Amino acid sequence: MEAQELREALSRATPVLPVPDGFRVGTQCLYPSNNSVLVTVRGGVDAFVVSDDGGAALELSNTGYTRHLTDRQIGGLVKPQGLKVRDGTIYSPIVPLKAVPAAVTLVANASKEVADWGTQHLKFRVRRNFKEELTKLLDRHFHDNMKHDSTVIGASNKPHKFGHIIFLPGDKRLIVDPVINDPSSINSRVVANMDVKLAKDPNVLQLIVYDDAAEWQSSDLALLELGATTVGFSSAERTIQRLAA
């Protein structure tokens, strides 16, 4: 099957983002951080492999755990579902085209379950979180007109959870969506924001905020811009005030 045909088949059920070696698929599964679980479909003709690209391990790493999650630990959780693991990445066996949607669901659920298991069984260290600083900043200005972790429906009719939504005069809403510097968070926020942007609701404004105290690749920032206007945390306050004026 041609790449465009595969993308169209997948996008009937879920947002799809093309990547150099396949397609990255958004799902309704959520990690403990509320980031959407993303999986990647690679292959061609009638032989495909679905992978979480190490998403569960990255989720736990970004939270900050004191022990590495081993392949043995992950394997014990995912092998009963017929899945495999290598270097922290959960992946399916080779499946035919007609089985790709089921494999997407299976891998996404497994990745979520591994992350959920890790939050319950691994010891975590406290780490400074710019998301908390953004929340405090917004509370200072918009405490009475804002909801945290609120949902917006995208063009695909799927609900997407965003960090903050500010309610403005004239029934307008400003989405302020924080993102951290890892592939899982970046891709999750791009998929969610793209889907909402494609709905073309004139009353919805979107802003992605990243921690510019961290080192970012220009390609990752360019990818975020596909989802929504993107701004560093150091200049977020004045940008948000301008959009909310």
Q: How many CA atoms lie within 13 A of 132 on its CB side?
A: 4
Single out the residue of 13, 112, 5 nearest to residue 48, CA to CA.
5
Q: How many CB atoms lie within 10 A of CB 178?
A: 23
Determine the pLDDT at residue 45.
84
Give the sheet arrangement for strand 84-86, strand by strand: 16-19, 22-30, 36-44, 47-51, 89-91, 84-86
Alpha-carbon span 164 to 147, nearest angstrom? 6
Alpha-carbon separation of residue 159 from 30, 64, 150, 197 (angstroms):
12, 28, 10, 13
Q: What are the CA-CA distances from residue 93 to residues 27, 83, 143, 220 (Å)?
A: 19, 7, 49, 30
Helix, strand, coil percentages (3-state) for the chain, rounded to 5, are 45, 30, 25
Asked if residue 49 lies in contact with residue 91, where contact means CB atoms within 8 angstroms, the answer is yes
Amino acid at 45: V
CA distances from 179 to 197, 210, 227 (A): 17, 5, 12
Q: Where are the alpha helices (DSSP H) in 47-99?
A: 55-63, 71-78
With CA atoms as reference, report the closest residue to 20 among 47, 53, 46, 45.
53
Q: Give the model's pLDDT for residue 35.
A: 79
Would you state the pLDDT for residue 94?
96
Residue with tokens 């698929």: 25
**Chain mean position to CA 94:** 25
Residues 6+ apart with CB under 8 A from 144: none
C-alpha distances in Å from residue 57, one per residue of 23, 67, 116, 184, 242: 20, 11, 11, 10, 38
Is the pTM higher than 0.85? no
What are the pLDDT tens digits along the chain (245 aa)?
A: 455 555 565 555 567 777 788 888 888 888 887 778 999 999 988 899 999 999 998 888 766 655 677 899 999 999 999 999 999 999 999 999 899 989 999 999 999 999 999 888 776 544 457 888 899 889 888 888 899 988 999 999 999 999 999 999 889 999 999 998 888 889 999 999 999 999 999 999 999 999 887 788 899 999 999 999 999 988 888 899 888 87
